[in-house]
Chain A
């Protein structure tokens, strides 16, 4: 075990103030004894670094998929008060509103038949990989509207159902987006990419519901055993990447201007109430809304393919939910018995609001928010529900996925993409990817076991298991 950390509960660990100079609050992370060997010193240091930021409330938090990133660790959650708090792109990442959505279908695995033709149709309909462009031709006005209205703009253009909006976190758009803070470069990158999946760890997966743990919640979410579902994982594409790049440069200057000392330049930040902080938030919100629009567009393409191939109704493929796992947002949380507005940064962490909170989809008010946790390629994904414990301990947050254990270079060195494709084939999982290299980099062995990560958040009460889904086919960029 790494020196200097203390056990704070069965699945909870504390990084005491003093672990790194300048910590304002302790760090807290959630991990099982089984996952302890996967904890990296670099990730722990990044969690401690978060705790040095001005205005951080209660704890610098990390979820059990914690791993070494830049700025915040992946799996990091930090909430900042409005008076002294800051906002930092290091707590969001380049891929603003990278997120996950799950779409139900009326199909069972028997209806699917051979999966390869379906994958090929989806692969040719949804632009996937580097250098691919959307079939949509957006004007500057369209892009503006998309960045302000998010998923609902896409639905209003005829690419979805009104109900979809109620099944997105924040109804698919954050308030406060202002396109005047989005550079011409970011616009040039965003215009041709709406409805594209991208590359790397992004994917579209065909899954079946293999196990229901909580029938009441599953019913409220609209999930049933044996059902085929589609999971989409992607973000704000080049638009979000450019917004992060542009604003890091201006926030580096702001960090100096406001006399904030940082242990890592990637934590460049500005007070929430400063012009630089507000500019970053307004632009980041544009990227977040664009990402919701992007996932909505991909949902439309997916529904069209399925409707045609299986003669099913477009309307019979409801959205179960859509979550973001790279974002900074204003939320109200209880601090020392008082309701307080905070800027919650989640970098590789998912919101998991418990029953009775605002922004829960219709029918889920007494259940809690649907939480979607994708597995790595070839492993189980999970649907969970948010809890009151998460509200009390983690500003309503839980893990976002399995979390890497092997670097991409190690994965490529030790794993063979072609062999992995064959092994997955034997398990009944088909993969369609732009290259074997991406299969090696994203291989199941490069990640922590998703079941163990989910067990930790379940046992720690940060979110509770509702259903387990198994992959049948996957498309990767």
Chain B
């Protein structure tokens, strides 16, 4: 798994990495899915959207917030995110299944994506950042 949970007292802090920014964003979505939808499976629920921002950090925050929004209003649980990035514009396609509170209990509600400590850095293994999920 290209993300690990780090200790944080109040919330959930994840360290995420990927070879490319697209992979980093896709793995960041994977980290979010692992918190919210641990028991969801791939299925016939899909969402697609496009977003822009003025930095990679702002774009990542916006992207993960958009996933939380779609999950809640469409009542879906996602398992994968396909991401294309061009400059500071992102196209994403989410896949998963309809969320069933009875069957999919056990996830943690994420209230928001904190910008605290989020800094996308170029490293030996590509791109890395911490992401703090407010739960």
Q: Which of A288-296, A297-305, A314-322, A433-441 contacts B (4 or more CB under 8 A)?
A: A433-441
Q: Report yes or no: B115 in contact with A268, Cβ–Cβ below 8 A.
A: yes
Q: Which of A131, A198, A252, A437 contacts B115 (CB 8 A)?
A: A252
Chain A residues numbered 100-115 whose CB sits less than 8 Å from any CB in chain B: none
Bound-state CA distance A185–B74 (Å) is 12
Which A residues lie within 8 Å of B72 (CB)?
A: 131, 189, 238
What is the count of residue pairs linking A and B with beta-carbon distances less than 8 angstroms?
110
Mask of B118-135 contacts with A, CB within 8 angstroms, 1/0: 100000000000001011
Which A residues lie within 8 Å of B115 (CB)?
A: 70, 248, 252, 265-266, 268
Chain B residues numbered 53-72 whose CB sits less than 8 Å from any CB in chain A: 53, 57-58, 61-62, 65, 68-69, 72
From residue B82, how far is it (CB to closest CB) to chain A in Å? 22
Q: Which of A333-341, A378-386, A406-414 contacts B (4 or more CB under 8 A)?
A: A406-414
Which B residues lie within 8 Å of A268 (CB)?
A: 115
Chain A residues numbered 261-282 whose CB sits less than 8 Å from any CB in chain B: 264-266, 268
The dominant DSSP class at the A interface is mixed
Q: Which of A199, A248, A404, A438 contacts B9 (CB 8 A)?
A: A404
Which B residues lie within 8 Å of A405 (CB)?
A: 9
Chain A residues numbered 181-213 whose CB sits less than 8 Å from any CB in chain B: 185, 188-189, 198-200
Cβ-based interface call for B116 (8 A): yes
Which A residues lie within 8 Å of B118 (CB)?
A: 265
Q: Report yes or no: A198 in contact with B10, Cβ–Cβ below 8 A.
A: no
Bound-state CA distance A70–B130 (Å) is 13
Given A71-B116, A188-B73, A241-B112, decide whether A131 and B9 contact each other with a Cβ distance below 8 A: no
Q: Which of A70, A410, A434, A438 contacts B134 (CB 8 A)?
A: A70
Q: Report yes or no: A245 in contact with B65, Cβ–Cβ below 8 A.
A: yes
Which A residues lie within 8 Å of B108 (CB)?
A: 199-200, 408, 437-438, 441
Cβ-based interface call for A461 (8 A): no
Cβ-based interface call for A445 (8 A): no
Residue of A nearest to B39 (CB): A435
Which A residues lie within 8 Å of B107 (CB)?
A: 130
Q: Report yes or no: B111 in contact with A407, Cβ–Cβ below 8 A.
A: no
Q: Report yes or no: B10 in contact with A241, Cβ–Cβ below 8 A.
A: no
Bound-state CA distance A241–B36 (Å) is 15
Q: Report yes or no: B105 in contact with A435, Cβ–Cβ below 8 A.
A: yes
From residue A6, how far is it (CB to closest CB) to chain B in Å? 24
Bound-state CA distance A54–B73 (Å) is 37
Cβ-based interface call for A249 (8 A): yes
From residue B61, how far is it (CB to closest CB) to chain A in Å? 8
Bound-state CA distance A34–B135 (Å) is 28
Bound-state CA distance A253–B57 (Å) is 13
Which A residues lie within 8 Å of B113 (CB)?
A: 245
Given A93-B134, A129-B101, A130-B107, decide whether A74 and B112 contact each other with a Cβ distance below 8 A: no
From residue A141, how far is it (CB to closest CB) to chain B in Å? 20
From residue B105, how far is it (CB to closest CB) to chain A in Å? 4
Cβ-based interface call for A389 (8 A): no
Given A185-B69, A199-B108, A252-B115, decide whether A70 and B62 contact each other with a Cβ distance below 8 A: no
Which of B10, B101, B104 has most A Cβ within 10 Å? B10
Cβ-based interface call for A67 (8 A): yes
Given A238-B72, A404-B9, A405-B9, decide whether A94 and B58 contact each other with a Cβ distance below 8 A: no
Mask of A65-81 contacts with B, CB within 8 angstroms, 1/0: 00111110010000000
Given A189-B69, A407-B8, decide whether A95 and B111 contact each other with a Cβ distance below 8 A: yes
From residue A309, how far is it (CB to closest CB) to chain B in Å? 24
Q: Report yes or no: B9 in contact with A434, Cβ–Cβ below 8 A.
A: no
Cβ-based interface call for B106 (8 A): yes
Q: Report yes or no: A410 in contact with B36, Cβ–Cβ below 8 A.
A: no
Cβ-based interface call for B99 (8 A): yes
Cβ-based interface call for A99 (8 A): no
Residue of B nearest to A240 (CB): B111
Q: Report yes or no: A241 in contact with B9, Cβ–Cβ below 8 A.
A: no
Bound-state CA distance A245–B69 (Å) is 10
Cβ-based interface call for A132 (8 A): yes
Bound-state CA distance A70–B134 (Å) is 9
Which B residues lie within 8 Å of A248 (CB)?
A: 61, 115
With A200-B135, A244-B111, A249-B61 already in contact, 11 other A-B pairs whose C-beta atoms are closer than 8 Å: A68-B10, A70-B116, A185-B69, A200-B111, A245-B65, A252-B58, A265-B118, A407-B9, A410-B7, A434-B101, A434-B106
A/B interface sample: 8 pairs, CB < 8 A: A129-B101, A131-B75, A189-B73, A238-B72, A264-B117, A406-B9, A435-B105, A477-B109
Q: A residues within 8 Å of B by Cβ?
A: 40, 42-43, 67-71, 74, 93-95, 129-132, 185, 188-189, 198-200, 238, 241-242, 244-245, 248-249, 252, 264-266, 268, 404-410, 434-435, 437-438, 441, 477
